[in-house]
Amino acid sequence: MQLVNATLPDTVRIVEVGPRDGLQNEKSQIPTEQKIKFIQLLAEAGLPVVEATSFVSPRAIPQLSDAATVMTSLRRQPAVEYPVLVPNLKGMERALESGVRAVAVFTAASDSFTRHNINASIAESLANFRPILDLARKEAIPVRGYISTVFGCPYEGEVDPHRAVEVAGALFEMGVAEISLGDTIGVANPMQVAHVLNLMLQADIELDQIGVHFHDTRGTALANVLVALQMGVTTIDASAGGLGGCPYAPGAAGNLATEDLLYMLNGMGIKTGVDLDKVVEATRFIAPYLDHPPLSKYYQAAIAATGKDQ
Amino acid sequence: MQLVNATLPDTVRIVEVGPRDGLQNEKSQIPTEQKIKFIQLLAEAGLPVVEATSFVSPRAIPQLSDAATVMTSLRRQPAVEYPVLVPNLKGMERALESGVRAVAVFTAASDSFTRHNINASIAESLANFRPILDLARKEAIPVRGYISTVFGCPYEGEVDPHRAVEVAGALFEMGVAEISLGDTIGVANPMQVAHVLNLMLQADIELDQIGVHFHDTRGTALANVLVALQMGVTTIDASAGGLGGCPYAPGAAGNLATEDLLYMLNGMGIKTGVDLDKVVEATRFIAPYLDHPPLSKYYQAAIAATGKDQ
């Protein structure tokens, strides 16, 4: 019955998505200088990957119109990757001009989600990635592929888990190095996570190429992480402070908080190389620029215990 | 690798602790009539056990000074148990006079916690239970034993897990029917839960006599539940709306919310007999009497999605 001890990894790689996925979904406009400082604090905390920004059209997402400034001004740690999201070839070219050395592309497991978000079907989004992947290969730049709505869609409801497997297969065939499976609206449960990961294994997709990206909207994020770890996943996305909320349920929690993830992994003796206190400090730094307190439960408990303000 | 499917129970029994453990730790004084209605709504939602109140000294916990009124006024469902907490023989006698047919006693795995909370060592608390257990046996009333601070103590920090096993052994020997292992300050992680439950098994304690009582202070409650289920535990304590907070970190989350637990169990196909929507309605009913919004994540997402006020 030693389920937990029998199957857990020794080490987990946390992909910090707070500065991009998190801040992109915050209402407040954060000054560029503070974004840069936030990214630097997260890298100094030992996070191996800090997704920094997105080279989308400044008109589409004004919060990220300073992407080039962020990437050229950032004081980088040699061991840290700072990937950025690129929606199209133009974004990819701008990213390269700004010295970016890792990128991510974004699609979904449900057509109505990609239509709402990037005005394209899944197939069209994949076709748009081809020139990005070609250029990335030429420049020896690793590409991460995000698949949203793997566990449920705000427009379609339930999503056939085979859709995620098909999209993952297409992305790997195109040359992405890693895929992140997203529970965009925070509906996943541990059984469903095990089911999707089993389907990936059956399609000969290795779980060391898979990251999981859970939202804590209904409190299940860490239970889902636990099952993913038990299945052999070792890359987990998280957002400092739980930044980003849930765009589909305003006021509710969204991204799994890096602090909550670290607290659990630390307690279980799983190494990450990340200093939890320093992540709390990074969140404390950015908190005054938000229009609400950070939703990380660990963060809230830590702040309550110290008696400091959030 | 089908860990989850291989070992999960078909059915889970939820012990609802909101009206007692939850309201006892809320600052607001709830009118007696609303408490009764809240208990009735929870029972109507299908919860098999609704811990209703505590027959403590009215001077010790003024919020619960209406215990006798609550128990004699309650309109009961035949299939539902309404246990109450009894701190001593006097409380037990008062409970019996009010028609109570199930009770609970309360101790801890750390002496400094019992000293702070009930002004007794663990051994003294156990000695105090003897006359309660004797009377319960005579009246054929089942007794639940709570062990607090199993996974950590606000005064001592780490707690030797063998302490919980010793206390559990003593309680079972005395005749308690079931024990609830409490993570009073919300510090447990899944590895620790597996470890404590393995120690119980090694001491020949059957896990169908064990309930788990997690707090979500650091976001780990449902991950801890998942491991407990994987180990064979089938009784889970939870509090509607997450009522009760964390007395040791004001403002932080406390009791695992019944809604969050139900959402995960429903998604995993585990039967509870409880109607999640009706629990949300019970929480909506009591919410206006609290001095803060309910902390259940599922509840917050449900309310955000409907656009209603909390």
Contact A297 B219 (CB under 8 A): yes
* CB nearest A190 (choices: B2, B249, B268): B268
The answer, for A268 touching chain B at a CB cutoff of 8 Å, is yes
Strand, coil or helix: A86: coil
Alpha helix ranges (H) inside A159-296:
161-174, 190-202, 221-231, 258-267, 276-286
Contact list, A5 vs chain B (CB under 8 Å): 191, 194
Contact A301 B194 (CB under 8 A): no
Q: How far apart are the first and last CA of chain B?
A: 41
Contact A263 B222 (CB under 8 A): no
> How many Cα neighbours within 13 Å face the side chain of A237?
31
Contact list, B187 vs chain A (CB under 8 Å): 267
* CB nearest A267 (choices: B2, B189, B225): B189
The answer, for B295 touching chain A at a CB cutoff of 8 Å, is no
CA distance A133 to A139: 10
Contact B1 A189 (CB under 8 A): no
% chain A with pLDDT above 70: 97
Confidence at residue B307, expressed as pLDDT on a 0 to 100 scale: 62
The answer, for B78 touching chain A at a CB cutoff of 8 Å, is no
pTM to 2 decimals? 0.95
The answer, for B252 touching chain A at a CB cutoff of 8 Å, is yes
**For residue B154, what is the nearest residue in chain A, using CA coordinates?**
A305
Contact list, A7 vs chain B (CB under 8 Å): 1, 3
> What average pLDDT does the segment A145-149 reach?
97
The answer, for A227 touching chain B at a CB cutoff of 8 Å, is yes
Q: Which residues 6+ apart lie within 8 Å of A170 measured at CB?
A: A126
Strand, coil or helix: B263: helix
Query: Which helix (H) or strand (E) covers residue B90, if one does?
Result: helix B89-97
Strands A13-16 and A235-238: parallel
> What average pLDDT does the segment A161-181 reach?
98
Phi/psi at B2 (5° precision): -80, 55
Contact B216 A297 (CB under 8 A): yes
State yes or no: is A246 an active-site residue.
Answer: yes
**For residue B301, what is the nearest residue in chain A, using CA coordinates?**
A252
Least confident of A138-147, A205-214, A248-257, B14-23: A248-257
Contact list, B188 vs chain A (CB under 8 Å): 267
Contact list, A295 vs chain B (CB under 8 Å): none
The answer, for A221 touching chain B at a CB cutoff of 8 Å, is yes
Confidence at residue B165, expressed as pLDDT on a 0 to 100 scale: 98
* CB nearest B252 (choices: A198, A218, A297): A297
- Measured CA distances, A303 to A74, A257, A297, B26, B251 (Å): 28, 15, 10, 20, 9
Least confident of A106-110, A300-304, B86-90, B151-155: A300-304
Domain map (residue ranges) of chain B: 13-306
Contact A297 B218 (CB under 8 A): yes
**For residue B190, what is the nearest residue in chain A, using CA coordinates?**
A268
pLDDT by residue (tens digit) across A228-263?
Answer: 999 999 999 999 999 997 777 777 788 999 999 999
Q: Report chain A's mean pLDDT, rounded to a whole number.
A: 93
Contact B219 A217 (CB under 8 A): no
The answer, for A218 touching chain B at a CB cutoff of 8 Å, is yes
Query: Given A246, A280, A282, A286, which residue is catalytic?
Result: A246
The answer, for B218 touching chain A at a CB cutoff of 8 Å, is yes
For B272-309, give the DSSP string.
----HHHHHHHHHHHGGGSSS----HHHHHHHHHHT--
Residues 4-23 (B) with a CB less than 8 A from some CB of A: 4-5, 7-8
How would you write the pLDDT of chain B (310 residues) with one tens digit per residue? 344 445 799 999 999 999 999 998 888 889 999 999 999 999 999 999 999 999 998 888 887 889 999 999 999 999 999 999 999 999 999 999 999 999 999 999 999 999 998 899 999 999 999 999 999 999 999 999 999 999 999 999 999 999 999 999 999 999 999 999 999 999 999 999 999 999 999 999 999 999 999 999 999 999 999 999 999 999 999 999 999 977 777 777 889 999 999 999 999 999 999 999 999 999 999 999 999 999 999 999 999 887 644 4
Contact list, B220 vs chain A (CB under 8 Å): 222, 260, 263-264, 267
**Cβ count near B268 (within 10 Å):** 20
* CB nearest A219 (choices: B2, B216, B252): B216
CA distance B243 to A287: 26
Instruction: With a cut of 90, say whether residue A306 has pLDDT above it.
Output: no
Confidence at residue B5, expressed as pLDDT on a 0 to 100 scale: 44
Fold of domain A13-306 = TIM Barrel (3.20.20)
Chain B: nearest CA to A282, how far in angstroms? 18
> Number of residue pairs across A and B with CB atoms under 8 Å?
171
